Amino acid sequence: MAFTYALEAIKNYGVRASILNVATPVPLPRKVIMDAVTKADRVIVIEEGDPVLENQLKALLYDEASGCRYSVRRRISSIGLVS
């Protein structure tokens, strides 16, 4: 659901962004994520519920000493509202 919201926001607001959809965060696809992160100026995590991917991504970026900025702007509730 968060992936769909991200696509919709990019389309509606004319945002220039690349999206990496991590459908299954366990095991974390480390190489795929690091390949995407190295091409990005900023990483924004959008996920529903608990911050599973967010926490794993923070740990991965720390472990890899990537220097990439990351932030969480909004969380999407289980009923689809942005909080």
Per-10-residue mean pLDDT for the chain, 83 residues long? 84 88 87 88 81 85 73 51 43
pLDDT confidence of residue 72: 53
Domain of 17?
2-71
pLDDT at residue 78, rounded to an integer: 47
Residue 80 in any domain: the answer is no
Q: What is the DSSP letter of 80?
A: S
Is 77 within the bounds of a domain?
Answer: no
The total domain count for the chain is 1
Residue of 51, 38, 41, 33 whose CA lies nearest to 17: 41
Q: Is residue 15 part of a domain?
A: yes
In angstroms, the CA 54 to CA 47 distance is: 8
